[in-house]
Structure 1
Amino acid sequence: MPVISDKGRLMPESPIRKLVPYAETAKKQGRKVYHLNIGQPDIKTPKIALDAVKNNTIEILEYARSEGSDQYREKLAAYYKSKDITITAKDIIISTGGSEALLFAMGTVADYGDEVIIPEPFYANYNGFATASGVKVVPVVSSIEHNFALPPIEEFEKLITPKTKAILICNPGNPTGYLYSREEIRKLADIVKKHNLFLISDEVYREFAYDDAKHYSIMREASIADNAIMIDSVSKRYSMCGARIGCLVSRNKEVIATALKFAQARLSSPTYAQIASEAALETPQSYFDDVIKEYVSRRDLLIGELENIDGVRVAKPKGAFYCIAELPVKDADDFARWLLEDYELNNETVMVAPAAGFYSTPGMGTDQVRIAYVLKKEDLRKAVNILREALKVYPGRK
C-alpha cells in the first residue's frame, strides 16, 4: 500500500473544526448548538461589496493578475495611508485569504528546518502553515496570569539560534484578543533589527481595538522597513470570510519579488472576490463604529458572565473578538466533546474550541478553551448559562 508523507502525518487537526462531526450529530438529534468555536461574524457584509458583484457586467471571468489588480492595490494603498501606513501598490500582493499570505511569507523567509518564534497561544493554523512549509515553530509563552501580554524580550533572545528567521505575531491576537502596545511593537522592532530577522505581523483584526486603545502596525516603524511583513485580510473587517481575499505587504522589494513567485505558481486570487473587496473599501466609518460598539458590548457581557462561574478564569481581550477561558476541568478536549455528545440543557448545548491546539508546547492549554463572541448578546447569555450548568455535572471536573 502506498505511504503518505511524514509532512501529512504531522499536519495538525484544526482545534476549531475537528469537533464539527459531533456538532452535526447533535443537530441531527434535534439539539440547538451555540457556536462559540469559530470566528465567523454574524455582522452583515457591507451592501456595497455584495452589490459590486451582483451588478457586475463581466462577460468573461478572466484570470486576475497574480499580484492582484492594479486598481484594487492602489485603493488598498490609499486605505493604509488613512491608517498612517505609507506604502505603494507595488508593496502589496493580493492573496487568497490571509492564510495564503502567511504561507507566502513563510515560504519567502524560511527554508526547510528553519525556525520562527511565535508567542503562544497563537492562531492554530500557524502550526499547519509551518508544517506545510517545513518550518519549526519555536514558542515563547505568554500567560493568562498576565493577560497574555508580550513576554519579556529576554525570553525571545534566549530562543534565537542561527536557524531563526522571523518572529510572528498576531495583533490584535487570535485567540487571546491581546492588543500589542506601541512600546511592545518597538521592542520587537529593536530585536529583529539587532538579530537581522523578519517581523511578520498578522493584522487582520486591526479595526477591532477597544477601550480607546489604538492599533499600532509594524509598518509604522521606519527602522525595520526591510524586516517588516504585514498580513491582512477582508474576512473579519467586512464580515467577508467567504471572499477569501487577503494580502501580503512589505517595503522589502526582495520579499515582494519572492512572494510573487509563489503567487504566480497558484495563478491568481478570485476575480469576483477582488471586485467585492475593492468595493468594500468604500464602506463608511459609521459601519465600523457600530460594529465596534456591538463587539465591546458582547465582550463585556461575556467576560462578566464567565467571571461569575465558579472556578473559571478569563483574560479580558483588548481587541479582535475572542477570549481564552481557563476552566475547572482536567481535559478541555474531552469537555468539548462531552458537551456535544452527552449534555443538553433544554435541548440546547454549546460548541467551544479546546485551546491546546493554539499552543505548540505539549501539555499547555489543556484546561483552556477559546470562545468567539460572534453571537448576539441574548445567545451569548444562554450559551454561558449552558456552560455554567454543564460544569456543575461534568464528570471530568477538577
Structure 2
Amino acid sequence: MKLLNTEIKNAVLESMIKYLDQDRDAIIAANKKDLEAFDRDDQALYDRLVVDNAKVDDMIRAVREVKDQKDPVGGVISDDTLANGLRIINKTAPFGTIMIIYESRPDVTIEAAVLAFKANNKILLKGGKEAHASNEELVKCWHKALADHGLGEEWIQYLKMDRPTTQEFLRNPDQPLDLIVPRGGERLIQFVKEHAKCAVLVSGRGNNFAYIAPDADMEKVIPVIVNAKTDKISGCNALDKILVDKNHPNYSQVITTVESILSEKGVEILGTDDTLKDLNTSEKIDSEDVWYEEFLAMKAVIGAVDGLDGAIEFINKYSGGHSNIILTETKDDADAFMQQIDSAAVYHNASTRFTDGGQMGVGAELAISTDKLHHRGPLGLKQLVTNKYYVHGEGQIRK
C-alpha cells in the first residue's frame, strides 16, 4: 500500500470539509428519503438515522478535528541498538484495508472514513439498507475530495450489499482485508465472526450497570442515573440496569426515589423479587435473559445486590463489558470496583454517557471496542495503526 504524506491527506480532508458544507442540502434531502422509508416503530434506530444541519456541522467538526491531529503513521515506538550492532526501530504502520459494518448512522460514513484515511488505511463501508441514500451522498463527497488531489475511489469504498451478498463477500472477499469492525447488535457481531477470514474487532453491546453503594450520596446518584439513562437512549453508553445495595441504611427509600425520578422522565421500570415490594411498578423481569439485554429504549431494571463483591460478580456476569458505574463516597470501594469490573470503561460517581471518543479526548471514533486486543474503548486515530519493526544491520548473521 502506498504511504501518503501528511500534506496530501490533510488536503483531502480540507476538500471534504468544503464538500460537506457545500452539499449539505443534497445530503439532508437524501436523508429525508431514508427517513420517509423507515418504520418509526424502532425509535432508537430512527434517531440514529436522522441527518439535519446540526448533524452535518458535527460531521464537519469531526473531519476538522482529525485533520488537525498528528499523523499517527511512522511514529517511533522504540529505537534500540543491540550488542551485536543491529539497530531495531519499532514504528507505527497502517493496518491496510479495514471493513466496517454498521447500521443506521450515516455519520459513521464520515467518522470511520476520516479516521481510516488519515491513518493511511483503505476502508470499505458496509452501511445498513435503511441509510443507503444518505451514505451514497456522503460517499460522493469523499470521492470528489479524493479526486481533487489525484487519488482514486479505492481509498474509500461503499458496499451496497444485502445479507447473502455480504456473507459471500466475507467468505471470499474480492480484495485483501486486514481488519473488520462490526458495529451493531449481537446478531451482527456473531454473523461477522462466523464468516470473516481476517481479524475482527468487536464493538459490542452496551447493557451498562450502575451500583448504588450503602454510602452513596443521593445528590450525586440522581443526576448521574437520570443522565445515563435518559440523555440518549440509542447510545451504546446508555444505562440499563440499576443495582441498589441491600445494606444501604435507606434501602427502600433509595429504590422508590430512583423509580419515581425515572418514571417522571418516562422510563418504564422493571423490578425483581428483591425490589418489587418497594416499587410502584408491578412489572417484573420475566427471564434471566433480561439481565443480558441492551434495551436501547426508555426502560430500566432496578435490582438489589448484597455488598460490593456481590455487585462486582453480578455485573461481570451480565454486562456487555462496555461501561459501568459505582456510586459511593468510599475511595477504596471505588478503586476495588474499577479494578475488578471487566469493561472498557468504569466510572466513579459519573455518567456512562462519557464513553465517547469526543468526550474522552480521543476525538472522532471508529467504534467503542469491547475487545481486549488490540485496543479497548474508543477507537480513535491513534488506535487505527499497528506496528512494524525496521531492523538495520551491516551483514550480521545469527549464530
Larger RCO: 1 or 2 (CA < 8 Å, sep 6+): 1
Q: TM-score, normalised by structure 1?
A: 0.28
Q: Computing the radius of gyration over CA atoms, which structure comes out larger, 1 or 2?
A: 2
Q: TM-score, normalised by structure 2?
A: 0.28
